Amino acid sequence: MDAVFLSRLQFGLTAFFHFLFPPLTIGLATVIAIIEYYYWRRGKELYDQMARFWFKIFAILFAVGVASGITMEFQFGTNWSEYSKFVGDIFGAPLAAEGVFAFFLESTFVGLLLFGRDKISRNMRFASSVLVAVGSTLSAFWIIVANSWQQTPTAYRIEGGRAVLTDFSAAVFNPSTLPRFLHTVDAAYITGAFFVMGISAYFLLRNRNTEIAGKSLKIAIILALIGVLAQFFLGHSHSVQVAQTQPVKLAAFEGIWDTQTHASLNIIGFPDVNKEITHFSIGIPGLLSWMVHGHSDTAISGLKAFAPGDRPLILATYWSYRLMLLAAAWFAILVSWGAYLLFKGRLYNNRPFLIAAMYSMLLPVLVNELGWMAAEFGRQPWIVYGLLRTNLAASPLPAYQILLTIVLFILVYSGLLMGVCYLVKREVKKASGEIPHQLETGPISMMTDIR
C-alpha cells in the first residue's frame, strides 16, 4: 500500500466519520430554533421542555462533530502538503473564514445555551438558538466554498506551479458553490427533520411523552416536506450544473458510455467497466437530455469521450449516486404520507407510518454520505478538477506512519461512535421513562472523596 492510497483512505475515513454529524446538527439546530421561536412568542412550558430535550441530544452530537472536525482543519497540511502548496492561495481563505464567521459563533452560543440557558433573558435565549443555527449553516457555506473550488476551480492563474487567486468573490461563488451549498444544506434540514420524526415516532409508539413528541413530529414533518420538495429543484439544478461543468461526472452518475442525443434518464442498470456498457439499463427515453438542456435532441457526453485515465471511479460514483436517488424516492413517499396523515388529523396513532418514520430516522445521514461520495469519487482522478491529480498531491510521508494513524483514528472513532449512540439512546429512554432520570443525589455524594 502506497502513501497516497493510505492518505486517501485516512482522509476518506475521517471525513466520512465527521460528515455523519454536521448535517444532523445543522438540521437539529434549525428544528430547535423553530421550537425556541414558539417558546419566545408563546412562553408555554411545553415548548421549553421540547427545546431542552432536543438541545440535550444536539449537544451530544455537536460534541462529536467538534471532536472529529479538529482533524479536518489540519489534515490538508499533514497529509496533502503538495495539494496545500498548490491551492493555498485560494483554499485556505474559506477555511479561515469558516473559523471567523462560523465556528466561533456556533461554539460560543452552544456553550452559552448549555451552561447559561437560565441566566439569560428569553429574548437572548431565542437569539442564541438562532445564532447556533446560523453559525452551523455558515460553516457549511464556507466549507462547501472550499470544496466547490476543488470541483470547479475558477478565478485563478497558474504561477510557479501554484494556483494564484485573481478574483476573490468569483472564487467564492464559483459555478458549483451555490448549487452544492443549497443542495447540501437542504439535505441537512431533511436529516434533522427525519431524526426528530424518528425519535418522536418512537415516543408515540410507546405512548410516552406524547405532547412533546406530537408537537415535534408536526414541526419535523412540515420541515421535511418543505425540504424534500425543495430538493427536487435543488438536486436537479445541481445535476444540471454538474452536466455543464463536469460532464464526465454526469456520465458516470448516469452510466452513459456513448455520447448521444435523446439520452434517457437512467433508473437502474449495471455498468460494466471492462466492456464499457451498462447492462439491463432501464430509463426514461430522452429525459436526461431534456432535463439538462431543455431539449431532448441535445447531446450528452458519454464516458468513452474521455480518456480512461481521466474517468472517475465509475462504479463507486454510479452506485453512490443511484442509491442516493433511490433513498430520495423513499423520502418523498414517507413525507407525503406523513403530510397526508397530518392534514387528515390521523398522524399520531397511525402505527405503520410511525414505524416507518422510526426506522428511517438515520437514513438521511447515510444518504448524505452517498451524496458526498458521488461528488468526490466523481471528481477523481483529480484533486482539483482538471488542474491537479490526486496522486501528485500527497505529503511525502512514510507509509507506516499513515498506517499507524489510520489504526488510531479507527480505534478512537469507533469508540466515539459507540459512545454517541449509547448516550443518545439513553437520553431518549430517559425521556420516555424507560430508565430513571439520573438521580440527583446532591451535595452529599459530591463531597465524598473519590479516592
Partner 1 sequence: MDLNITWFLLVGVLIGGYAVLDGFDLGVGSLYPLLGKTEEQRLILLQSIGPFWDGNEVWLLTGAGAIFAAFPLVYASVFSGFYLAMMLVLLALILRVIAVEFRNQAETLEWRTRLDVLFFLGSFLPALLFGVAMGNIARGLPLNSAHYYTGGFFGLLNPYALLIGFLGLFAFLLQGNSYVLLKTDGVLQEKARRLFLFIWASCLTLYVLASLYTYAAVPALFANYQKYTWFLIAPLLSVVGLAAAPWLVKTARYGWALLASSATMLGFIATLGLGMYPSLVPALNPGLSLTIYNASSSALTLKAMLIIALTGMPIVLFYTIYVYRVFRGKVDIYGEGYSGKNNHGAWPPGGGIVR
Chain positions 93 to 152 lying near partner 1, rule: CB under 8 A, are 93, 95-101, 103-105, 107-112, 114-120
Least Å from the CB of residue 123 to partner 1: 13
Is residue 305 involved in binding partner 1 (CB under 8 A)? no
Is residue 91 involved in binding partner 1 (CB under 8 A)? yes
Stretch that binds partner 1, among 91-99, 211-219, 252-260, 270-278 (CB under 8 A): 91-99
Residue 119 has φ and ψ, to the nearest 5°, of -100, -5
Least Å from the CB of residue 45 to partner 1: 10
Residue of the chain from 316, 327, 403, 423 that contacts partner 1 (CB under 8 A)? 423
* Nearer CB in complex with partner 1: 171/342: 171
Residue of the chain from 158, 268, 408, 421 that contacts partner 1 (CB under 8 A)? 408
* Nearer CB in complex with partner 1: 137/246: 137
* Nearer CB in complex with partner 1: 274/445: 445
Task: Identify the helix (H) or strand (E) that includes residue 182.
Answer: helix 177-205
DSSP state of 437: P
One-letter amino acid at 71 equals T
Least Å from the CB of residue 235 to partner 1: 30
List Cα–Cα distances, 53 to 35, 212, 348, 435, in angstroms.
11, 9, 20, 15
Q: Which of 75, 51, 65 is nearest to 20 (CA)?
A: 65
Is the preceding peptide bond at 285 cis, omega within 30 degrees of 0?
no
Cβ-based neighbour number of residue 233 at 10 Å: 12
54-73 positions binding partner 1, by CB under 8 A: 56, 59-60, 63-64, 66-71, 73
* Nearer CB in complex with partner 1: 131/328: 131
Grid cell at residue 61? 452530537
* Nearer CB in complex with partner 1: 116/386: 116
d(CA 333, CA 205): 20
- 272: β partners: 277
One-letter amino acid at 104 equals F
Stretch that binds partner 1, among 74-82, 198-206, 251-259, 310-318 (CB under 8 A): 74-82
Is residue 386 involved in binding partner 1 (CB under 8 A)? no
Is residue 90 involved in binding partner 1 (CB under 8 A)? yes
180-219 positions binding partner 1, by CB under 8 A: none
Helix (H, G, I), strand (E, B) or coil at 55: helix
* Nearer CB in complex with partner 1: 1/100: 100
Length of the chain, in residues: 451
Stretch that binds partner 1, among 161-169, 244-252, 285-293, 334-342 (CB under 8 A): 161-169
d(CA 167, CA 169): 6
* Nearer CB in complex with partner 1: 52/218: 52
Is residue 274 involved in binding partner 1 (CB under 8 A)? no
* Nearer CB in complex with partner 1: 315/410: 410
Is the preceding peptide bond at 364 cis, omega within 30 degrees of 0?
no
Least Å from the CB of residue 299 to partner 1: 39
Chain center to CA of 72: 15
Sign of the C-alpha dihedral computed for residues 224, 228, 233 and 237 taken in this order: positive
One-letter amino acid at 212 equals I
